[in-house]
Amino acid sequence: MRALIHDNASEKALSDQAFRNRKHLFQDGVSAALNGETSLSEVLRVCREEGERHAGV
């Protein structure tokens, strides 16, 4: 991801790379929710928005 940012990659390229790691985003979010750093509803909202954005919804 850093290389893409450094190379001034397009928004689509950045989104594609981030979406590839969506499972990790969800897992990290659940861990953060369990630690009291965020809510599970916030994790679900962010992951859903990313999925919809990637799918062109």
22-54 pLDDT, tens digit each: 667 888 889 999 999 999 999 999 888 766 666
Is 7 within the bounds of a domain?
no
- The pLDDT value recorded for residue 42 is 93
The answer to whether 25 touches 38, Cβ cutoff 8 Å, is no
| Residue 35 forms part of a structural domain | yes
For range 1-30, the mean pLDDT = 84
pTM > 0.75: no
- Tally of domains in the chain: 1
Give the residue among 31, 22, 29 at the shortest CA–CA distance from 43: 29
Domain that holds residue 53: 21-57
Q: With respect to residue 32, please indicate whether it lies within any of the assigned structural domains.
A: yes
